[in-house]
């Protein structure tokens, strides 16, 4: 913990941390030592972590990357973090992210951008950009992130680390500040599939405080990960595994460096015993408009609670209550958040609801059905996480639609609520890391982690 706190200080220029609490971290480390001395053998005991600033914390500030939450203190810890704390992990602090997790480059944070540790001129991806940079720069061995439309997988891919977004409902959303509630999922970002498995086991599980939490017994993902497939050998741990390659995940527009690295990863999986089969997800392109209707619709509703009354920032000068709401929100929210609130309010309004929101919901169902069709032909689906490697800071900042289009490969799995991973498979343009995306059917986290582990 001491060593990493020093690294956090010497790497301040990355912009990964929004809050560091050295005293609390050292005290937690001491408490973990005492537990270990008392015979506790927990795998996560004393492991230093840091957390995306979208999880509320009682003993640290929570901003969600937004000015509107400046000065806010939560009276409780998010369930996911409370479970990690109970497992004896040490928290170094809170990590930068796009404002309310809206973004793909961590350039929408009110507290400044985050640099990619591989090349400071490039973005770390988003919205969990601080988590990705902190793990990649070895400031922490692992961190928490959240993924609504790719925000664990894409930054993991851009920084050469491993991340998993579990099946919707596996991790509690209680205390995770809501962006799009039907899509939001927490997950770990770490150096390996094995570390992800250990963290996910501790973070996940039923929580009666989240109405969409899935009721099932606690899972040991690390044990599931290690369970060899039938017929598998040490040399061929993936024997018998059918990996589906949706042809829509390899379009003409895919940049050649990413295509090459991903195909090398796939041929590695073949050597490990997997068979590759071509499948189709015909509505892949539609996932973009569908997501960018549904996510803003839910955001416009979720973010109505930030009105200057209950949380954080309140405008200093105002005439009456309505004026206070207006000024608080005008001052507190950044441009991307305002854009989404407007889109969301529009698609939900009378006369447009049927034309946009309802159509999007119908297509969402069809996208999920397409996956089920695929899973009759394969066990896992693979492809790129993103069409390019991490881009340079400032590129695409003024073109939100361009940024939305880059989410094409992560959005379908999110809309379907499926588990997905990013596993580093090589390097592309500028020596930047490239991640392979693996998607599994519902509750197939063990199979995903096993495949990723074999590749590592």
Residues that bind ligand GLN (CB under 6 A): 101-104, 127, 147-151, 179, 295, 407
**What letters, b where the CB count within 10 A reaches 16 and e where it falls short, cover 135-148?**
bbbebbbbbbbbbb
Contact 346, 352 (CB under 8 A): yes
CB of 376 to ligand GLN, least distance (A): 28
Minimal CB distance residue for ligand GLN: 151
Smaller CB distance to ligand GLN: residue 1 or 127?
A: 127
Contact 385, 435 (CB under 8 A): yes
The alpha carbon dihedral of 182, 209, 188, 444 has a sign of negative
Token couple for 255: 């940049």
CB of 399 to ligand GLN, least distance (A): 13
Smaller CB distance to ligand GLN: residue 135 or 406?
A: 406
Smaller CB distance to ligand GLN: residue 52 or 229?
A: 52
Smaller CB distance to ligand GLN: residue 1 or 284?
A: 284
Task: Provide the annotated active-site residues.
Answer: 52, 127, 151
CB of 169 to ligand GLN, least distance (A): 16
Smaller CB distance to ligand GLN: residue 190 or 455?
A: 190
CB of 165 to ligand GLN, least distance (A): 9
Contact 238, 83 (CB under 8 A): no
CB of 103 to ligand GLN, least distance (A): 5
């Amino acid at each position: 913990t001491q060593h990493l706190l020093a690294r956090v200080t010497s790497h301040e220029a990355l912009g990964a941390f929004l809050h560091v609490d050295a005293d609390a971290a050292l005290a937690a480390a001491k408490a973990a030592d005492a537990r270990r001395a008392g015979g506790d053998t927990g795998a996560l005991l004393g492991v230093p972590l840091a957390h995306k600033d979208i999880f509320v914390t009682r003993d640290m500030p929570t901003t969600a990357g937004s000015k509107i939450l400046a000065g806010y203190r939560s009276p409780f810890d998010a369930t996911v973090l409370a479970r990690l704390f109970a497992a004896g992990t040490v928290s170094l602090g809170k990590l930068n992210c796009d404002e309310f997790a809206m973004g793909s480059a961590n350039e929408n944070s009110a507290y400044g951008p985050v640099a990619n540790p591989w090349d400071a001129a490039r973005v770390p991806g988003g919205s969990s950009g601080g988590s990705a940079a902190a793990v990649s720069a070895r400031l922490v061995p692992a961190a928490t992130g959240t993924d609504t439309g790719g925000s664990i997988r894409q930054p993991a891919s851009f920084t050469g680390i491993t991340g998993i977004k579990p099946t919707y409902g596996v991790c509690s959303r209680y205390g995770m500040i809501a962006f799009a509630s039907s899509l939001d999922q927490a997950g770990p970002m770490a150096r390996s599939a094995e570390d992800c498995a250990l963290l996910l086991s501790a973070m996940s599980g039923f929580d009666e405080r989240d109405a969409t939490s899935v009721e099932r017994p606690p899972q040991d993902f690390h044990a599931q990960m290690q369970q060899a497939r039938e017929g598998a050998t040490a040399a061929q741990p993936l024997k018998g595994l059918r990996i589906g390659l949706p042809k829509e995940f390899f379009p003409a527009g895919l940049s050649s460096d990413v295509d090459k690295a991903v195909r090398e990863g796939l041929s590695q999986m073949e050597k490990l015993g997997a068979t590759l089969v071509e499948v189709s997800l015909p509505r892949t392109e539609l996932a973009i408009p569908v997501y960018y209707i549904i996510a803003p619709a839910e955001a416009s509703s979720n973010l109505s609670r930030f009105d200057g009354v209950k949380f954080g920032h309140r405008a200093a000068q105002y005439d009456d209550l309505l004026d206070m709401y207006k000024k608080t929100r005008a001052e507190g929210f950044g441009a991307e958040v305002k854009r989404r609130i407007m889109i969301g309010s529009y698609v939900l309004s009378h006369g447009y609801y049927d034309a946009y929101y309802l159509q999007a919901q119908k297509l969402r169902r069809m996208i999920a059905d397409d996956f089920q069709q695929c899973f009759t032909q394969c066990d896992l689906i693979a492809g790129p996480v993103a069409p390019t490697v991490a881009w340079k800071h400032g590129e695409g900042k003024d073109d939100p639609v361009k940024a939305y289009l880059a989410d094409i490969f992560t959005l379908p799995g999110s809309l379907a609520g499926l588990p997905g991973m990013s596993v580093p498979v090589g390097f592309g343009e500028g020596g930047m890391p490239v991640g392979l995306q693996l998607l599994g059917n519902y509750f197939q986290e063990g199979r995903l982690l096993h495949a990723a582990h074999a590749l590592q």
